[in-house]
Amino acid sequence: MRSIKTIGLAAVLAVGVSGVVSAADFTIKYNDHDPLGGMRTNFVKNVWLPEIEKQTGGKVKIQDFWGGALLSSKEELKGIGDGVVDMGFVFPGHFPKQLIAHSIFNLFPRGPKAFGDMAKLYRKVYAEVPAFEAELKKANVKTVLFTAGLPGAFVGTKPIKKLADIKGDKWRAGGKWKLKFLENAGALPVAVPWGDVYVALQTGTIDGCFTNYDGLHLMKFDEVAQNLMISKDLWYATPFLHLVNRKKFEGLPADVQKGILKASEIAEQKFGAVYEAAFDQVKSEQLAAGYTVTELSAADVVAWENADKLSSLQAEWVAASKKAGLANAAEVMAQVKAILNGMM
């Protein structure tokens, strides 16, 4: 008679060979540096993550952590790739050296208005421009879901009714390319860490901030800077990436992988309605609070894009990206430009 220990080992081996697993056999740790309460974070918590558990038949259990509980915004890419967590949210702008190609979206200040069209654009770019997937593969991560921030918006401590009103004042934006757009508009660009923007506005260190509309509202920048200029034409451009550790994902059974991807497809489709409603919701809450909200004129949208200087900035991006290690930066620019022009 075989021992109980031997029988137990045989049973484990049999399960491993057959691929049969028990319910909730896979725990996936998800980290997000943003707190709950915003358009995207609430959607991820209440829609996407439960959908993963549903579409995997309960084989996957999500442990979710918010507000950078496990990893800060600048730790997430490496943390996911190294397996500190299995899955998480990454904003490419926080990784200019690792995600060089991803910064290209900043060089297109106007894009699709509807999230569904943005998602199609992002997936087309990933499918047809190898540089994007190559960067993620090098970091040992894989994209499973795209979301996006609401369009870019101006939030300032001084009255702002038109783009010219930011001239000569100190304005913050995320990343050097958006800072250059501020400079082209006549503002004095200032780099301030995301977590310090509220206090910087409150103390007068900066006069305003250009960032995604939902992000500034979630972080309550509008509490201390109650003058806003908004436009649905100013898409925030850079995709919000929800990544999974590539080795972890590839090590999961095929049906579990399929379930995660199916859940992400369903969630991405549902996010469109959330995105469309959130813009008006943020605006209504700001007006109810007594803030001054001005719609940017069509002429000011064109002025923000600044066609005369845009081509120079795009050429500057090519040169800088090539120097940073993206050897075919010119080709990437041409490919993305063609895809965007085709969709617009």
Residue 168 burial class via C-beta count within 10 angstroms: exposed 0-12, middle 13-18, buried 19 and up: exposed
- CA nearest to 171, candidates 184, 190, 185: 190
137-159 in b/e burial notation, b at 16+ Cβ within 10 A? eebbbbbbbbbbbbbbbbbbbee
- Alpha carbon separation from 125 to 65, 191, 244, 276, 293 (Å, rounded): 30, 29, 19, 23, 34
Q: Strand runs (DSSP E) across 139-226, as ranges?
A: 141-147, 152-156, 170-173, 188-190, 208-212
Predicted pLDDT of residue 38: 87
- What is the mean predicted confidence (pLDDT) over 280-286? 96
Res. 21: pLDDT tops 80 = no
Res. 15: pLDDT tops 90 = no
Res. 160: pLDDT tops 50 = yes
- Distance of alpha carbon 292 from the chain centroid: 27
CATH 3.40.190.170 domain span(s) along the chain: 24-95+105-148+239-278, 152-236+280-310
Asked if 204 and 267 touch (Cβ cutoff 8 Å), the reply is no
Neighbour tally for 308: CB within 10 Å: 8
pLDDT in tens, 75-131: 999 999 999 999 999 999 899 999 999 999 999 998 899 999 999 999 999 999 999
Res. 22: pLDDT tops 60 = no
Residue entry with tokens 């000569």 = 168
Asked if 82 and 247 touch (Cβ cutoff 8 Å), the reply is no
- Distance of alpha carbon 89 from the chain centroid: 7
Which stretch of DSSP H or E encloses residue 180? helix 176-184
Predicted pLDDT of residue 195: 87
Which stretch of DSSP H or E encloses residue 88? strand 87-90
Task: Name the region of 189 (left: φ>0; alpha: ψ -120 to 50; beta: rest).
Answer: beta
Q: Which of 35-39, 234-238, 257-261 has the highest mean pLDDT?
A: 257-261
Residue 202 burial class via C-beta count within 10 angstroms: exposed 0-12, middle 13-18, buried 19 and up: middle
- What is the mean predicted confidence (pLDDT) over 43-55? 98
Which residues touch 42 (CB under 8 Å, ≥6 apart)? 36
Res. 209: pLDDT tops 70 = yes
CATH of domain 152-236+280-310: 3.40.190.170
Which option is the CATH number for 24-95+105-148+239-278: 3.40.50.1000, 3.20.80.10, 3.40.190.10, 3.40.190.170? 3.40.190.170
318 pLDDT tier (thresholds 50, 70, 90): very high
- What is the mean predicted confidence (pLDDT) over 219-224? 96
265 pLDDT tier (thresholds 50, 70, 90): very high
Percent of the chain with pLDDT over 90: 85
6 pLDDT tier (thresholds 50, 70, 90): very low
Predicted pLDDT of residue 194: 87
Rg (CA), the chain: 22
Predicted pLDDT of residue 14: 36
How far, in Å, CA of 81 to CA of 101, rounded? 18
Res. 231: pLDDT tops 70 = yes
Predicted pLDDT of residue 23: 53
